[in-house]
Homo-oligomer: A and B are copies of this chain.
Amino acid sequence: MSVTNTVVRRASLESCGSDDHEDCGLELILVRLGEQWTVRVLAELAGGPLRYRVLERALDGISQRMLTLTLRRLERDGHLLRHVEPTVPPKVTYELTELGHAFATQVATLVEWSRQHKEAINAAQDTFDASGRD
């Protein structure tokens, strides 16, 4: 797309990602997964580029704050690109990069696994709750 991706964007929200990758290392990715919306956003964008508003509705329940934060962090990590068309009203599209797709695939695999073992986990929880607690 020949869109003039406006790169200029100074301090956003609470400075987006404060994590210096100097110390945290590889666990960064686990932190991202813990941020409850990351996976959902990834899943939505896996199907193709989407606009901000579309994402907001698709995720239904997400606050603008978290959507923006999640998108910004994923963008910072190189998982997605942000295309801005400076029209009025503005039109912003988000699209997964190669890295983003790869990441999304990995996550999908994990989700798939958890789906398969969901019942086993639930059963274990029931047993645990029934035996240990009252």
**Footprint of B on A, CB under 8 Å?**
7-12, 15, 17, 21, 25-31, 33-36, 39, 75-79, 99, 102-103, 106-107, 109-111, 113-115, 117-118, 120-125, 127-129, 131-134
Contacts and interface: CB of A to CB of B under 8 A. Distances in A.
27 contacts: A7-B131, A11-B133, A26-B115, A27-B36, A28-B121, A29-B110, A29-B111, A29-B114, A30-B34, A30-B39, A31-B34, A31-B36, A33-B34, A34-B35, A77-B124, A77-B125, A78-B123, A78-B124, A78-B125, A78-B127, A99-B117, A99-B121, A102-B117, A103-B113, A106-B109, A106-B113, A107-B110
Contact of A77 (B29, B111, B121): B121
Contacts of A102: 113, 117
Contacts of A114: 26, 28-30
Per assembly, the copies of the chain total: 2
A39 B27 CA distance: 9
Contacts of A134: 10
Given A33-B34, A35-B34, A132-B10, A76 B28 contact: no
A128 B78 CA distance: 8
A115 to B, nearest CB: 5
